[in-house]
Amino acid sequence: ARRAALAASSGPGATSDGHKVPLLANVGGPADVPAAVDAGAEGVGLFRTEFLFLDDSKQAPSEEKQVEVYRQVLEAFPEGRVVVRVLDAGADKPLDFLTPADEPNPALGVRGLRSLLDHPDVLRTQLTALSKAAEGLPVYLEVMAPMVADRTDAKAFADACREAGLNAKFGAMVEIPSAALRARSILQEVEFLSLGTNDLAQYTFAADRQVGAVSRLQDPWQPALLDLVAMAAEAAGAEGKSCGVCGEAASDPLLACVLTGLGVTSLSMGAASIPYVRATLAKFSLAQCERAAAAARAADTAEGARSAAQAVLSGE
């Protein structure tokens, strides 16, 4: 029965009453594209460009090399959306030419957008390469920055995009609690938000995502995390802008329904999860998702949030 349900699951993501929630794929490069296309991804919600940089930690790949790789991903989704994240180096992904060697707390140091603002040449080359890669393609290119902390960060990124002449929407990832708390202010500078729930959980709970001993606090069902998601989604809704999720949270079918109920406008995940999320979302109305979201937020624990949402959606 599960197989039949999955086989029947195709087409755009939507709730049972037709509220559209585009289902997008997380990719690390062209090698991940065929699986995304096979799963019926409506585009890419997170292109982690750092994989291209990790091949050589001494220098950035040439502009030509970058154009070639970006173009292969962009070409695969004609008329679709492709959200490219600029280089997220540092912390668990150090690069010799960008990341200071002597940081006591790399996760709290110069990483993500911070390292790009310290190396504007690297950012400029990447934005120019993206601009050239998208030239003449019928794709909706969106470019976002990792680790945006506040409006100053968002403005610096948007300015760099404009200076590079990039014809795309510019966005900010919400993966630091300050960005969720002040989402409305960040949205004065950028056109969309994307929640990186892996880092958002790490920074909200002061729980290193690489340390298994604190994994309880990395659970995306934690009500405090749901509160921050709701805050960002509400701010985006009030500004008439979109707010997706591209962290692991989006790949849990039940949580995907809750995120939809919180006002998240698209979900991006590993391609293998797309059919499951699509099939589950199609079973419930937006109103049911909203009730499940409210029940989850009313809980005090991750476990409690999960079972409260489950109870609402199974009609208990």
Residues labelled as active-site residues: 246
Compare residues 198 and 307 and give the one whose CB is closer to ligand PEP: 198
- Residue closer to ligand PEP, measured from CB, 48 or 71: 48
Q: What is the bridge-based pairing of β-strands 81-85 and 192-195? A: unpaired
- Which of ligand PEP, Mg ion, none interacts with 32 (beta carbon under 5 to 8 A by kind)? none
Report d(CA 126, CA 117) in Å as an integer. Answer: 13
**Position 252 contacts Mg ion (CB under 5 A):** no
- Compare residues 203 and 276 and give the one whose CB is closer to ligand PEP: 203
**One-letter amino acid identity for 177?**
P
Check whether 198 is labelled as a binding-site residue.
Answer: yes
Taking the C-alpha atoms of residue 260 and residue 266, their distance in angstroms, rounded to an integer, is 8
206, exposed or middle or buried, with CB in 10 Å at 0-12, 13-18, 19+? exposed
Residues near ligand PEP (CB under 6 A) = 46, 48, 88, 175, 196-199, 246-247
Smallest gap, in angstroms, from Cβ of residue 288 to ligand PEP? 26
Provide the β-strand partners of residue 48. Answer: 85
- Return the number of the residue (176 or 257) whose C-beta is nearest ligand PEP: 176
Per-residue HEC secondary structure of 134-147 comes to HCCCCCEEEEEECC
- What's the closest the beta carbon of residue 313 comes to ligand PEP, in angstroms? 24
* 196 sits near Mg ion (criterion: CB under 5 A): yes
Indicate the residue among 176 and 312 with the shorter CB distance to Mg ion. 176
> What is d(CA 305, CA 302) in angstroms, rounded to the nearest whole number?
5
Q: Which residues pair with 5 in a beta bridge?
A: none
Contacts with Mg ion: how many residues (CB under 5 A)? 3
268 pairs with which residues across the strands?
A: 24
Residue 50 sits in the site that holds Mg ion (CB under 5 A): no
Compute the least distance from the CB of residue 261 to ligand PEP, in Å. 20
Q: Which does 48 bind (CB under 5 to 8 A by kind): ligand PEP, Mg ion, none?
A: ligand PEP
Find out whether 209 is annotated in a ligand binding site. Answer: yes
Does residue number 244 form part of the binding site for Mg ion (CB under 5 A)? no
Give me the least distance between CB of 37 and ligand PEP, in Å please.
21
Write the CA distances from 238 to 18, 173, 187, 258, integer angstroms. 22, 18, 10, 19
- DSSP bridge partners of 20: 14
- Those residues whose C-beta lies under 8 Å from the C-beta of residue 220, and which sit 6 or more positions away, are 197, 201, 247, 248, 249, 252, 255, 302
42 is in an annotated binding site: no
| Contact (CB, 8 A) for 299 and 275 | no
| Residue 42 binding Mg ion, by CB under 5 A | no
278 in a known ligand binding site: no
Binding residue for Mg ion (CB under 5 A) from 199, 248, 252, 290? 199
Binding region for Mg ion (CB under 5 A): 175, 196, 199
Q: What are the binding residues for phosphoenolpyruvate?
A: 48, 85, 198-199, 209
